[in-house]
Amino acid sequence: QVQLVESGGGSVQAGGSLRLSCAASGFTFGTYCMAWFRQPPGEEREGVGAVYTGASARYYADSVKGRFTISQDNAKNTLYLQMNSLKPQDTAVYYCAARSNCAGSWLYQDKYPYWGQGTQVTVSS
């Protein structure tokens, strides 16, 4: 079965960096669309960025463009989220998600049947 396991969260000061990992199993990496979402405290979950693992296109939310970068290692079946210039408003639980049907906007959360357990990122000012 499909499994997604995030890691790499933690606490960092504003301006710092973190790299999140999402280890995937149970499907052929390179054939799915994968995305990062986050849920700030007391708020709804929102999209961060997405990728079709079989292509080079990347999509990012405006709030993270220029600061966050999605990459992947197909040999390790792992998706990454490099987060630089972190701000307190980036504080959230970060989730990776996957779907085999890549139709429609990457922002549609209900299109992703597979989710990781989440990893906490806390940015202090």
The string of pLDDT tens digits covering residues 11-32 is: 999 999 999 999 999 998 888 9
* Two tokens, residue 45: 């979950």
Backbone angles phi, psi at 15, to 5 degrees: 95, -10
80-102 confidence digits (pLDDT tens): 999 999 999 999 999 999 999 88
* Beta-bridge partner residues of 46: 38
Res. 77 pLDDT band, cuts 50 70 90: very high
Which candidate, 6, 19, 7, places its Cα nearest to that of 86? 19
* Two tokens, residue 124: 């202090």
Distance (Å, rounded) from C-alpha 32 to C-alpha 62?
A: 23
Which candidate, 77, 37, 69, places its Cα nearest to that of 53? 77
Give the three-state DSSP class for 81. Answer: strand
Distance (Å, rounded) from C-alpha 44 to C-alpha 109?
A: 11
On the question of pLDDT at 53 being above 80, the answer is no
Distance (Å, rounded) from C-alpha 15 to C-alpha 74?
A: 30
